[in-house]
Amino acid sequence: MAADRLTVVGRSVPRLDARDKVTGAARYVSDLVLPGMAHAKLWRSPVAHARIIRVETERAAAVSGVLAVLTVADLPVKRLYYGPAYRDQPILAHEVIRYAGEPVVAVVADSEAHAEAALAHVDVRYDERPAATSAEEALAPGAPLIHPKLDRAGHFRDLSGLRPVPGTNICQHFEYERGDLARAFGEADLVVEDVYRYPALSHHALEAHCAVARVDADGLTVWAGTQHPFPVRKDLAEIFDLPLAAVQVVVPLVGGAFGGKCYTKIEPLVAALATKVRKPVRLALSLEESARTITRHAVTVRLRTAVGRDGTLLARQCEVVLDTGAYADIGPRVATKTGYRAPGPYRIPSLRIDSKCVYTNNVPAGAYRGYGVPQVTWACESQMDVIAERLDIDPLALRRKNLLKRGEEYVAGDTPMDGDMAEGLEQTARAVGWSAPLARGRGRGLACAMKDGGGTHTVSTAVVRINADGSVALLAGSVEVGQGARTALAQVVAETLGVPFETVVVVPPDTSITPYDHGTSASRSTTVMGLAVEAAARDAREQLLALAAKLLDTDASALAVGDGTITHGDRRLTVAEVISGHYGLVGGEVTGVGSFVPGKWSGTLGGATVFWETGMGAAEIEVDPETGAVKVVKYVSAADVGQAINPRECAAQDEGAAMQGIGPALFESRVSERGQLLNPGLIDYRVPAFTDLPGELDSLLIENADGPGPFGAKGVGEGGTFCAAPAIGNALARATGVRLTELPMTPERVWRALRAAGRVENP
């Protein structure tokens, strides 16, 4: 369908949930109240690594209102361990404590206050052990072995290729090599080598992790703020030895996630507690506790690149080390993907990639908006500017020279580049005023990156029900974490069916009602679920037209659909008239079913991707030499969205992502000492505030309707996070001649670097 004939898709309709959200009517998991509901609180380990000797619960159990005080041994479960890559994480600490903050004991009481009061009376005796609290320590000879044995979860095809290194803390070792590296480095005109560091970060979605569980004759129901209701259902079914049909996972609105609510987190524990006390149980973590549940990987990248005199990239060697914490979570896949994307979106004949995912005695690290790309892009795009500077080539021209062109393969057998990155970067540079004169103390920098989008070998299914009154219900398991998926999917349904947008209702994810979906991550909802939804709507439309054709005594191909009406010449039938006409009563419905099943897994490196999600960013900054403070005067982000289903929401996603890149660029960072997180909450962990909004923040949407999704859409949402740090770092270097290789670029770090370089006078 040509873009100019679209009526609903491509329009910035208001979000379906906007009114509820501005009136306070919107309900999240943390708002759920069930009759007779009990509340749980967790006793967390103060030490990073220890053997549990004894847990004394009697005094805590005697506290008023307390229903149960439980250790892992008391939980009524078939299996203690879970995890998407390895089944390595116990529901509560089992014999061993592996990180400071790990839940060891759960208290269930009639109120949160009583549960909290009882925590003070829990007495845990443990024998502290040496801890490895950084990847370097965990890789050192003689490091404590955090998981002597590993049990593969077997959940995913791509993870069946897990390569742990026995006898070490490496739970995934990803390697790739092509070309003649030695020769390329030998013949290069320039070889640059740098080490870049990216710290661990906290997601700090404003709604902390929360789940409520209830057990009754029908089975187990869990309401959870999860991005993966179906994988969580699978884990629960296995943990409690129940059929999938007896486990129901329901997801209302989610107060932010950013990857922090991917896969199973607190759900098995809440379900076990509800089973034990025979009452509904709610566990609402504090924001600090969420920060002790999951983090973004701290990553070290050693990058060595061989370049010709004209700036042609000849070879690159990437060594990536990720600190995945005490439990692997989805870290092994993050490590694989991080390695996969470490070279950047360039044509490089010879390549060697080595990416290690390392267990440490830190908080587990998992998914976080970009899945490792922001970390390696910090390295890769900083070094591109180092190369440009050494060769005296304009950074934009250097990138243009090496960027993959549309249709060019990144790795043989993988999806070829499906957009025009050089053109996108050009537009971004123009928007920031790349070649305009600069005021003193100012600099401009840019960066670009790409990520395989849509998830690896993931499935989505959807059902579209046209009701007898002409209203339409969409059953889709995509979680509304704020990205606007429900609105975009409703637009796809309305456009495909030819009905008004207002007639479409989207049913929230409920594993017992909405059909299977892999999950809400990897910028996949609009594209991958979007295709399933479009197919379901087409199916429903064909059935509807067949019914109408019978009623009108004509051929379905002779009918036109639009605005909820089916027309044949001057004869018209509303959708409602078709359905009631067919069934001969005022009831009945038409049900359309659709699915997305990925193509055969191919490719030698990361596998075929649904689409490439690209991100382009450019910054103009001002540096205060007195304080080292960096102010972002202007930031331009560009996202190739193929076709924007809802342009305003696409741009809003990209802007939000850009801010989630600017925060870590300038100030965000988890600070730990010997495994103790020193800034768990928002008092000490600074996230971007209103005053951090750049003087100008712009998002460019590139729309060539060339995506694989409905109406040519591509996923959006992660790309904006990729480039902020390197673009700002490159701007800093161009403004001052000083380059930082470790984030965040705090005023102190910048000031010290300026002083070390003699750029500021000593007072």
Listed in sequence order, the DSSP H helices in 203-242 are 229-240
Write the DSSP assignment of 539-585 as a string of letters. HHHHHHHHHHHHHHTS-GGG-EEETTEEEETTEEEEHHHHHHHHHTS
Q: Report the candidate in 417, 498, 456, 700 with the shortest Cα–Cα distance to residue 602.
A: 456
Token readout for 5 is 């004939």
Nearer residue to another protein within complex by CB, 253 or 740: 253
CB of 757 to another protein, least distance (A): 32
Q: By C-beta, is 48 or 666 nearer to another protein?
A: 666
- Which of residues 17 and 189 has its CB atom nearest to another protein in the complex? 17
Q: Tokens standing for 675?
A: 């495994």
CB of 66 to another protein, least distance (A): 18
Q: How far is the CB of 207 from another protein (least distance, A)?
A: 5
- What does each C-alpha distance from 755 to 81, 692, 749 come to in angstroms? 51, 25, 10
The Cα 344–Cα 415 span in angstroms is 15
Whose Cβ is closer to another protein: residue 598's or residue 688's?
Answer: 688
Q: How is residue 586 annotated by DSSP?
A: S
* Shortest Å distance, C-beta 639 to another protein: 13
Least spacing, CB of residue 683 vs another protein, in Å: 6
707: tokens are 């995506």
- Nearer to another protein by Cβ, of 31 and 310: the residue is 31
Smallest gap from residue 666 Cβ to another protein (A): 14
Q: With respect to another protein, which residue has the nearer C-beta, 49 or 203?
A: 203
CA angle 715, 664, 523 (to 5 degrees): 10
Distance set, CA 204 to CA 330, 653, 745 (Å): 18, 17, 20
C-alpha–C-alpha distance, residues 732 and 624, integer Å: 11
Q: Find, among 349, 346, 427, the residue nearest to 387 by Cα.
A: 346
Tally the residues of the chain. Answer: 763
Residue pair 596/460 in contact by the 8 Å Cβ criterion = yes
Cβ distance to another protein smaller for residue 473 or 693:
693
Prior bond of 515 cis (ω within 30°): no
As given in the structure block, the two tokens for residue 363 are: 């908080």
Q: 585 Cβ partners below 8 Å, 6+ apart?
A: none
Of 6, 20, 15, the closest CA to residue 649 belongs to: 15
Q: What angle do CA 758, 759, 763 make, to 5 degrees?
A: 75
Shortest distance in whole angstroms from residue 555 CB to another protein: 43
Which residue number, 477 or 484, has a Cβ lying nearer to another protein?
484
Least separation, in Å, of the C-beta of 719 and another protein?
Answer: 14
Q: How far apart are CA 193 and CA 714, in angstroms?
A: 35
Distances (CA, A) of 373 to 380, 453, 661: 10, 11, 11
Task: List residues near another protein by CB under 8 A.
Answer: 12, 14-15, 17-28, 30-31, 204-208, 253-258, 286-287, 481-484, 648-649, 652-653, 655-660, 681-683, 687-693, 697
Q: How many CA atoms lie within 13 A of 284 on its CB side?
A: 17
Query: Which pair of structure tokens corresponds to residue 434?
Result: 């790349």
Nearer to another protein, 75 or 205 (CB): 205
- 32 token code pair: 């759920």
- What is the C-alpha separation between 426 and 486, in angstroms, rounded? 33
Name the minimum Å distance from CB 415 to another protein: 29
Closer of 260 and 592 to another protein (Cβ): 260
- Closest by CA position to 663, among listed 726, 725, 751: 725
Least distance in angstroms from the C-beta of 483 to another protein: 7
Residue with tokens 């229903």: 67
Min dist CB 31 to another protein, Å, is 4
Q: Which CB, 416 or 681, lies closer to another protein?
A: 681
- Which residues have C-beta within 8 Å of that of residue 234, sequence separation ≥ 6? 155, 244
Shortest distance (Å) from residue 534 CB to another protein: 24
Are 448 and 345 spatial neighbours (Cβ–Cβ below 8 Å)?
Answer: yes
Residue 756: left (phi > 0), alpha (psi -120 to 50), or beta?
alpha
Of residues 609 and 669, the one with the C-beta less far from another protein = 669
- Shortest spacing between CB 679 and another protein, in angstroms: 12
Closest CA to 445 of 755, 725, 759, 662: 725
- When the beta carbons of 260 and 343 are compared against another protein, the nearer one is 260
**Chain centroid offset of residue 193 CA:** 30
Q: CB 526 → another protein: shortest distance, Å?
A: 14
Single-letter residue type at 405: K
Contact 322, 299 (CB under 8 A): yes
- If the CB atoms of residues 252 and 642 are measured against another protein, the closer one turns out to be 252
Give whichever of 372 and 680 is closer to another protein, judged by the CB atom: 680
Q: State in angstroms the smallest separation of the CB of 699 from another protein.
A: 9
Nearer to another protein, 600 or 690 (CB): 690
CA 349 to chain centre: 30
Report the alpha-carbon distance of residue 208 to residue 287 in Å, rounded: 5
Residue 733 · residue 727 · CB < 8 Å: no
Q: Tell me how far, at minimum, the Cβ of 581 lies from another protein, in Å.
A: 35
CB of 26 to another protein, least distance (A): 5
Backbone angles phi, psi at 604, to 5 degrees: -95, -15
Q: Pick between residue 452 and residue 655 the one whose CB is nearest to another protein.
A: 655
SS3 per-residue string spanning 134-179: CHHHHHCCCCCCCCCCCCECCCCCHHHHCCCCCCCCEEEEEEEEEC
Q: Which of 609, 598, 605 is nearest to 161 (CA)?
A: 605
